[in-house]
C-alpha cells in the first residue's frame, strides 16, 4: 500500500486521552509557536447518544457501553471508541479503557486523589519499588495547574495530604450511603474525608452541576463530569492544535536514533506525518504496544505493568442507602492505613473507598447464584441496601507483569496485544489486611452482613508503568522528563511513565506529570 | 411468541415473587436471546427427557433439572442466565417491582442528600481535622 507523505509539523501527539490532553494544553500555552497535530484512533463522543437518556440503559452497561473494550467488541462495538482487543487470558485483572477523544476520562469515575509525598520515595523510605526521579514538591505546581484545568470539587483541610489549593466547588453530596460510611469510620476513630472529584457539584466553567443520575462510567450526558474532550481539548484546538480522529498510528518512524515522524492509518489510506518530536500517550497498553511495534529497544519497555490490586467487601444494611444514584466512585475515602506500618506484615498501604450501588441489572449479574428464587431473595435484600468498600493497594513494579505483542496482526493494522499479570504475594497480604479493615468498618457502620470479594477482576482501570521513568536505561524507558532513552525526539506523556503506582487512582497524577513533561519540553525548545 | 417449554425455562430462571412478575410475563423481547442460546435449551430438554417433560415438571423439579444441566455445561448455561437476566432486570415491570422508577436516569437525575447531612459531617470531620497530619514526608 502506498503511503502519502504530509507536510512536516513540529510535534505529533499520539492519542487524545488524559495524558495527551494535559501535555498539549500546557504546551500550547508555553510554546505557542509550535505546530502540533494530534492523532486519535477514535472519535468525539455525541453526548445525546449516550445510554443515560434511554430507559433500557442498563443493557448498555452490560454490553456495548461496558467498561471493558473486550466486552464492548463482543457486543458489536461502538463508533466513538475505536476499541482493540486485548488478550487478557493470562491476567488476574481485565484492562478497562476508552479509545476516543478524551481517552479513558470518557468512562472514568472521576475520583481525583493525589499521590502522597511518600509515594514518590518508596525505595528510600521502605526499600521497595523505586524512587521517582522527582518529588511531590517538584510535581506540586503541576498538580495545582492541572486541578484548575479539570475543575475539582472537594473540601480543604484533609490531614492525609499536604495543603492543596482551595477547591472551586464543595464536595459531591454524600447521600445516605456516604453518611452511613462516614459514621462507621467515625465510630472507629479512623480517618475519612469526602473525595476530591473531577465532577462539578454545581455549575462551573460553563458546565452544569451533577444531577446524580448514576451511570458515570458509560459517559456523562450532562457534562458535569470532567473529561478532557470538554476540559482540555477545546482550548488547545482554539489555540491552533489540529486534531485528527479516526487515525490509528501504526509506527513511530526512527532513523539513526532520532524520530522522523509517524505512519498512521485512516479510512482513506495510510499516511506519513513527518515531525521533529513525537509524543506517545496511548495509555499503559497502547503506548507499550506502539513502541514495541516500532522497534524501540529498551529492556524495561512493556514490563512492570501495574493495575493496583483491588478487592472489596459488600455490606448489607437494614436501612435504605439511596440505591444506584450519584457518581459511583465519588463519596468518601479513608487513608487511615495508607502509610507504611511494618507491624502489619507488609510495607506501603491501602486505600479504602465507599462506592455507590449499581443499577439493578448490574447488581443482579454479580449475584453468586444469579437465577432462581434465591436470586430474587438476594437481590431484594441488597438492592438499595448495600454498600461496597473498595480496597486498593499499592501494586509494586514486577518485571514479569507485562504488556507484550501476540505475534499476529490485529484488524487495526498493529500487532495484537496481550497482558500477562499475576497478583503478587505482597498485594495479596495488603489486600487481605484491607479487606479485614473494610469488614470492621462496615460492621461499625451497622451492616447486618458482609460478603468479601477477595479479588475483583473487572477493576483493571489503571494501566501503569510500562514505559517507566528512571535514570538507568536498563531498568527504565524514559528519563524524568518523559524522553525515551536513546531515541532523540521521542517522548511519552501518559500513565505508562509511572515508576511506582501508589495506592490511589492515577488520573490526577497522570495530568500533573504530563503537564510537567510539556513544561520541561517547552523549556528545552524555547 | 415463546413456546410453553421456553416459558418454563424462563420462569425457572426468574420465577415471580410477590409483585415481581415471572420472566414469561415481564414483556421481554427474548426471541433473539433464545435463538442464540438454542444449544442450552436442547441440553435442558435432554436432561429432562424432552421439552414436554420439562414443561410438565413442577417448579422445584425444573430448578433441579436446570441446576443439573448447569453442572454438566456451566459456561453455556451461565451465558443464557446472564443474557436473560440483563433483559429481565432492565424491564420496566421488574425494575418497578423492586421499587425503582423505570424512567431513564436523565434528564431528571436524582436528588441526593438530606438537610442535616452537612452539619453532621462537619462535626465528624472536626475530629479528623484535629489529627493535623497523617501523611509521611
Ligand atoms: C471505567 C474507568 C474508571 C476509571 N475511574 C478513574 C477514577 O475514578 N479516577 C482516576 O484517577 N482514574 C480512573 N480511571 C483511569 C483513568 O481514566 C486513566 O488512568 C487515564 O485516563 C489514563 O490516561 P492515559 O493518558 O494514560 O490514557 P487514556 O486516557 O486511556 O488515553 C489513551 C488514548 O490513546 C489513544 N490511542 C492508543 N493507541 C493509539 C494509536 N496507536 N493511535 C492513535 N491513538 C491511540 C486511545 O484511543 C486513547 O484515546 C478509570 C478508567 C476507567 C476505564
Ligand atoms: S452522576 Fe453526575 S457526573 Fe455521573 S454521569 Fe450523572 S450527571 Fe454525570
3-state SS string over chain B?
Answer: CCCHHHHHHHHHHCCCECCECCHHHCCCCCHHHHHHCHHHHHHHHHHHCCHHHHHHCCHHHHHHHHHHHHHHCHHHHHHHHHHHHHHHHHCHHHHHHCCCCCCCCCCCCCCCCCCCHHHHHHHHHHHHHCCCCCCCC
- Give, as one character, the DSSP assignment of residue A468: -
Residues of B in contact with A122 (CB under 8 A): none
The residue-averaged pLDDT of B39-46 equals 97
The pLDDT tens digits of the residues spanning A2-55 come to: 899 999 999 999 999 999 999 999 999 999 999 999 999 999 999 999 999 998
Signed CA dihedral, B86, B87, B88, B89: sign only: positive
Enumerate residues 6+ apart whose C-beta is below 8 A from A420: A90, A91, A305, A400, A401, A402, A404
> Is residue B75's pLDDT more than 90?
yes
Ligand whose nearest atom lies closest to the CA of A223: 2
Q: What does R_g of chain B's alpha carbons equal in angstroms?
A: 23
The pLDDT tens digits of the residues spanning A198-243 come to: 999 999 999 999 999 999 999 999 999 999 999 999 999 999 999 9
> Is residue A517's pLDDT more than 70?
yes
Q: What is the reported pLDDT for A1? A: 61
The CA distance from B24 to the nearest CA of chain A, in Å, is 14
> Is residue A446's pLDDT more than 70?
yes
Please name the residue of chain A whose CA is at the shortest distance from the CA of residue B9.
A372
Q: Report strand pairing: A415-421 vs A402-409.
A: antiparallel
Contacts 24+ apart (CB under 8 A), B118-126: B120/A179, B121/A174, B121/A179, B121/A182, B121/A194, B124/A182, B124/A183, B124/A186, B124/A192, B125/A155, B125/A157, B125/A193
**In the block, residue with C-alpha cell 506540586:** A140
- Give, as one character, the DSSP assignment of residue A133: S
> What percentage of residues in chain A have a pLDDT greater than 70?
100
> Is residue A85's pLDDT more than 70?
yes
> Is residue B46's pLDDT more than 90?
yes
> What percentage of residues in chain B have a pLDDT greater than 90?
95
Beta bridge partners of A390: A312, A353
- Find the domain containing A287 and state its range: 4-525
Beta bridge partners of A418: A87, A404
The pLDDT tens digits of the residues spanning A359-403 come to: 999 999 989 899 999 999 999 999 999 999 999 999 999 999 999
| Interface test with chain A among B106, B111, B118, B137, by most A beta carbons within 10 Å | B106
Do A361 and B12 make contact, defined as CB atoms within 8 angstroms? no
Signed CA dihedral, A97, A101, A105, A108: sign only: negative
Cα(A406)–Cα(A87) distance, integer angstroms: 8
> Is residue A78's pLDDT more than 90?
no
Distance (Å) of CA A333 to CA A269, A324, A351, A466, B84: 48, 18, 7, 28, 36
> Is residue A59's pLDDT more than 90?
no
From the list A54, A175, A340, which residue is nearest B104 (CB)?
A: A54
> Is residue A519's pLDDT more than 90?
yes
Residue A292 and residue A379 in contact, taking contact as beta carbons nearer than 8 Å: no
> Is residue A257's pLDDT more than 90?
yes
Contacts 24+ apart (CB under 8 A), A473-478: A473/A298, A474/A299, A474/A300, A475/A130, A475/A299, A475/A300, A476/A298, A476/A300, A477/A291, A477/A296, A477/A298, A477/A300, A477/A301
The residue-averaged pLDDT of A283-299 equals 97
Can you give the CATH number for the domain in which A229 is found?
3.50.50.60
Do A186 and B124 make contact, defined as CB atoms within 8 angstroms? yes
| Ligand 2 near A222 CB (within 6 A) | yes
Question: How many residues are present in chain B?
Answer: 137
The pLDDT tens digits of the residues spanning A497-509 come to: 999 999 999 999 9
The residue-averaged pLDDT of A462-484 equals 98
Tell me the pTM: 0.97
The CA distance from B131 to the nearest CA of chain A, in Å, is 7
Q: What is the reported pLDDT for B126? A: 97
* E strands in A96-240: 193-194
Q: Ligand 1, residue A506: give the atom nearest the CA.
A: 11
Enumerate residues 6+ apart whose C-beta is below 8 A from A339: A116, A118, A349, B134, B135, B136
Number of domains making up chain A: 1
End-to-end CA distance of chain B, in Å?
68
Q: What is the reported pLDDT for A403? A: 98
Amino acid at each position: 500500500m502506498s503511503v502519502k507523505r504530509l507536510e512536516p509539523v513540529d510535534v505529533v501527539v499520539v492519542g487524545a486521552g488524559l495524558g495527551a490532553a494535559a501535555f498539549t494544553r500546557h504546551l500550547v500555552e508555553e510554546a505557542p509557536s509550535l505546530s502540533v497535530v494530534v492523532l486519535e484512533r477514535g472519535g468525539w463522543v455525541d453526548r445525546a447518544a449516550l445510554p443515560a437518556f434511554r430507559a433500557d440503559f442498563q443493557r448498555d452497561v452490560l454490553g456495548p457501553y461496558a467498561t471493558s473494550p473486550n466486552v464492548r467488541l463482543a457486543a458489536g462495538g461502538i463508533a466513538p471508541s475505536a476499541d482493540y482487543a486485548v488478550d487478557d487470558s493470562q491476567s488476574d485483572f481485565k484492562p478497562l479503557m476508552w479509545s476516543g477523544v478524551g481517552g479513558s476520562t470518557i468512562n472514568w469515575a472521576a475520583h481525583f486523589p493525589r499521590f502522597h509525598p511518600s509515594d514518590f520515595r518508596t525505595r528510600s523510605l521502605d526499600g521497595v519499588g523505586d524512587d521517582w526521579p522527582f518529588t511531590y514538591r517538584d510535581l506540586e505546581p503541576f498538580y495545582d495547574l492541572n486541578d484548575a484545568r479539570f475543575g475539582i470539587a472537594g473540601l480543604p483541610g484533609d490531614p492525609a495530604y499536604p495543603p492543596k489549593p482551595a477547591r472551586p466547588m464543595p464536595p459531591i453530596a454524600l447521600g445516605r450511603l456516604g453518611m452511613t460510611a462516614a459514621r462507621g469510620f467515625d465510630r472507629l476513630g479512623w480517618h475519612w474525608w469526602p473525595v476530591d472529584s473531577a465532577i462539578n457539584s454545581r455549575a462551573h466553567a460553563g458546565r452544569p452541576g451533577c444531577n446524580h443520575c448514576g451511570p458515570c462510567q458509560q459517559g456523562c450526558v450532562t457534562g458535569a463530569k470532567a473529561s478532557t474532550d470538554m476540559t482540555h481539548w477545546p482550548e488547545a484546538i482554539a489555540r491552533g492544535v489540529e486534531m485528527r480522529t479516526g487515525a490509528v498510528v501504526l509506527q513511530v518512524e526512527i532513523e539513526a536514533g532520532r524520530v522522523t515522524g509517524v505512519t498512521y492509518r485512516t479510512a482513506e489510506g495510510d499516511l506519513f506525518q513527518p515531525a521533529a518530536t513525537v509524543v506517545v500517550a496511548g495509555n499503559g497498553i497502547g503506548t507499550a504496544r506502539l513502541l514495541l511495534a516500532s522497534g524501540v529497544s529498551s529492556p524495561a519497555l512493556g514490563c512492570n505493568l501495574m493495575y493496583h490490586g483491588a478487592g472489596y467487601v459488600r455490606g448489607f444494611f437494614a436501612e435504605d442507602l439511596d440505591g444506584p444514584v450519584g457518581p459511583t466512585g465519588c463519596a468518601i475515602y479513608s487513608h487511615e492505613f495508607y502509610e507504611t506500618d511494618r507491624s502489619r506484615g507488609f510495607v506501603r498501604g491501602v486505600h479504602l473507598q465507599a462506592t455507590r450501588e449499581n443499577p439493578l441489572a448490574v447488581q443482579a449479574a454479580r449475584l453468586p447464584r444469579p437465577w432462581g428464587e434465591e436470586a430474587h431473595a438476594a437481590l431484594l435484600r441488597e438492592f438499595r441496601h448495600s454498600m461496597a468498600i473498595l480496597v486498593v493497594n499499592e501494586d509494586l513494579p514486577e518485571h514479569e507483569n507485562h504488556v507484550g505483542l501476540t505475534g499476529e496482526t490485529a484488524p487495526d493494522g498493529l500487532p495484537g496485544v496481550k497482558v500477562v499479570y499475576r497478583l503478587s504475594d505482597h498485594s495479596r497480604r495488603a489486600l487481605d489486611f484491607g479487606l479485614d479493615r473494610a469488614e470492621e468498618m462496615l460492621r461499625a457502620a451497622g451492616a447486618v452482613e458482609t460478603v468479601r470479594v477477595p479479588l475483583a477482576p473487572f477493576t483493571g482501570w489503571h494501566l501503569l508503568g510500562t514505559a517507566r521513568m528512571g535514570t538507568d536505561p536498563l531498568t527504565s524507558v524514559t528519563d524524568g522528563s518523559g524522553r525515551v532513552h536513546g531515541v532523540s525526539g521521542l517522548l511519552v506523556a501518559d500513565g505508562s511513565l509511572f515508576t511506582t503506582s501508589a495506592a490511589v487512582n492515577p488520573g490526577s497524577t497522570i495530568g500533573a506529570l504530563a503537564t510537567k513533561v510539556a513544561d520541561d519540553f517547552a523549556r528545552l525548545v524555547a | 411468541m415463546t413456546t410453553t417449554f421456553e416459558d418454563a425455562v424462563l420462569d425457572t430462571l426468574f420465577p415471580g415473587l410477590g409483585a415481581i412478575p415471572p420472566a414469561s410475563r415481564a414483556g421481554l423481547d427474548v426471541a433473539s436471546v433464545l435463538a442464540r442460546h438454542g444449544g442450552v435449551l436442547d441440553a435442558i430438554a435432554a436432561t429432562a427427557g424432552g421439552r414436554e417433560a420439562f414443561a410438565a415438571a413442577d417448579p422445584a423439579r425444573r430448578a433441579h433439572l436446570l441446576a443439573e444441566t448447569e453442572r454438566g455445561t456451566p459456561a453455556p448455561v451461565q451465558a443464557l442466565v446472564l443474557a436473560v437476566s440483563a433483559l429481565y432486570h432492565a424491564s420496566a415491570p421488574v425494575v418497578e417491582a423492586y421499587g425503582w422508577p423505570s424512567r431513564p436516569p436523565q434528564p431528571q437525575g436524582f436528588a441526593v442528600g438530606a438537610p442535616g447531612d452537612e452539619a453532621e459531617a462537619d462535626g465528624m470531620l472536626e475530629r479528623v481535622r484535629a489529627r493535623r497530619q497523617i501523611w509521611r514526608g
